[in-house]
Structure 1
């Protein structure tokens, strides 16, 4: 009898030890296909790094293409509610909910994504914490230069936008499209290919990397790029966010692993991944024989005069919501300039 009890106790202890060694699985959700750069060049290496630095005690289970259900605009709520432990999405998919970080989506704000993404994190630390108090941000970043793509005709001047229905990702990019004379149509990335194929929209604004990821290069005729001497026509702001309760549940040493792999450096590394992604993605459209146009610096100067009004109205809107609009705009520009120079 005593031997049986000892055997049972040993088995119980062994079982408890095994349970204690079970790794913590982080559910990571996003809207891109699994073949996209964002998963293969950013999320997968990041997950491998936290697994290595936690000695295998933390691992990711990645759910691409909205595999946990819902729509891309619901991702930020999913991480807040704990449906996912970590998400990667655009705050701008929920228009008006996170106004403090919108400043990075104003036209002609950025050049390269890497320095602008580092700037975005430091800007968040000054102005964005209240807006994002219900999630734990791990990174903020922007994509590289956004261009204009359509199926009607080459776009090289403002008048070329007239009569076009153009998709844009966020509130401010839609305002930009409207200011240019086109009809803006808001939709998240996964809906764009179908909208283009069915003629719901005539074109869209996107950076190069995502175009072959959703096969848009196969259904687009004309691509209009901007003179490199000018700032980017536009960019969009992204967040990698964690559920606060999940983070709080981690042991102190595992929290340190998450902390060491989030913040300004992680943000900048994502921006860098976008910067280097453009040439190979662009080549896909070249190989198909699509038509390319270059918008001159002189012409872009005219576009910039039009969009300067968007910045002024954004400042007034922020002031009306109790934010410090001009200080936010000035700080964003200053930080971008600072990190561009490094």
Structure 2
């Protein structure tokens, strides 16, 4: 029996444990962050509750956190193959598979995660069918802009990455790390602490609050003190499940797969991540390396070639990269989400 088949058996077993007749539609939502993560507590749970209320109890969503049903990188395929009904994905965990959405991984783009998530959803809705046609894309959003955290310093300029083993947030950052003479060691977020503790990485990319979420506060004590990058996320649903909903239930789901909900699901998480910086400032033995204007320009210059790389990848996939990029920038600017 394959891993996916075993996972499906597990899902079915869990589903049969639910009270009979609890709802007309029982859906599974799988993700890979801890059940205590703000995205789970202040994002997914209220979203599922709102769907239950809006459907008068007809739709019930059971949430499985912490990779219970499958590895983080597998969640797109799990939703596509009906191992789960809804999968929470980081597209950057599968390098090159979703080149259009990878625009959201370019550094120094997003000023914030809240209006940025609404903008990202609105923009990507135009193109989702071109690269995620085998699922129903429900929401697309960001985390609060993150940065680099290291076991040692200094951490001020791109040259400080040379010769270091670095866990990047996604494939775009992995290419930047390589271009700057570092070695990329890519693992999902739940595996960062083990990677650092074993000495397999010297630093990691992370938003501020996630340093505490994943227990890194005693593993990384040097921090690049500037907003550097964002990571895109999406909630994707099995198409057969969505297409099989009654009209009234489909209306409920469509109302909860919207730019407004993408913004809402990112809001509390963004606040938590931003507050992590203040928590670290109040923690002993942590050093903040704050680049000056000239050093920031060095970082921006180092990241600039990534845009041309992105355009080449999108063009190679058969899309109009220039038009897509112009739409991306215009949408971010319209929502005051672009770093100017």
Q: TM-score over 0.5 for the alignment?
A: yes
Q: Which residue in 2 is equivalent to 1:88?
A: 88
Kept after mapping to 2: 8 A contact 1:166/1:185: yes
Partner Cα separation in structure 2 for residue 321 and residue 60 of structure 1? 35
Is residue 303 of structure 2 the alignment partner of residue 302 of structure 1?
no
Structure 1 position 128, deviation (Å): 2.6
Deviations 1:29-83 (A, max 9, x none): 0000100011001000101111111111111111001111x31111110001111
Is residue 269 of structure 2 the alignment partner of residue 274 of structure 1?
yes
Partner Cα separation in structure 1 for residue 194 and residue 22 of structure 2? 46
Kept after mapping to 1: 8 A contact 2:168/2:186: yes
Partner of residue 319 from structure 1, selected from 312, 315, 321: 315
Q: Which residue in 2 is equivalent to 1:292?
A: 288
Secondary structure of residue in 1 paired with 2:260: helix
Determine which structure has the larger helix proportion and give its number. 1
Structure 1 unaligned segments of length 5 or more: list them. Answer: 1-17, 227-231
Structure 2 unaligned segments of length 5 or more: list them. Answer: 1-18
Q: TM-score, normalised by structure 2?
A: 0.89
Q: TM-score, normalised by structure 1?
A: 0.88
Deviations 1:106-127 (A, max 9, x none): 1111111112211211221222
Partner Cα separation in structure 2 for residue 21 and residue 76 of structure 1? 27
Secondary structure of residue in 1 paired with 2:323: helix
Partner Cα separation in structure 2 for residue 316 and residue 58 of structure 1? 43
Q: Show the 5 A alignment for 1:169-188.
A: 169-188=169-188
Is residue 123 of structure 2 the alignment partner of residue 128 of structure 1?
no
Q: Show the 5 A alignment for 1:114-153.
A: 114-153=114-153
Q: Note the aligned Cα RMSD (angstroms).
A: 1.9
Which has the higher mean CA deviation after the structures are superposed, 126-135 or 190-199?
126-135
Kept after mapping to 2: 8 A contact 1:114/1:269: yes
Instruction: Report the structure number with the largest CA radius of gyration.
Output: 1
Shift of the 81–186 alpha-carbon distance from structure 1 to 2, 3 Å rule, reads same
Structure 1 position 19, deviation (Å): 6.9
Partner Cα separation in structure 1 for residue 301 and residue 275 of structure 2? 32
Secondary structure of residue in 2 paired with 1:295: coil
Aligned residues: 319
Structure 1 position 292, deviation (Å): 1.6
Which has the higher mean CA deviation after the structures are superposed, 81-90 or 116-125?
116-125
Shift of the 57–200 alpha-carbon distance from structure 1 to 2, 3 Å rule, reads same
Q: Which residue in 1 is equivalent to 2:34?
A: 33
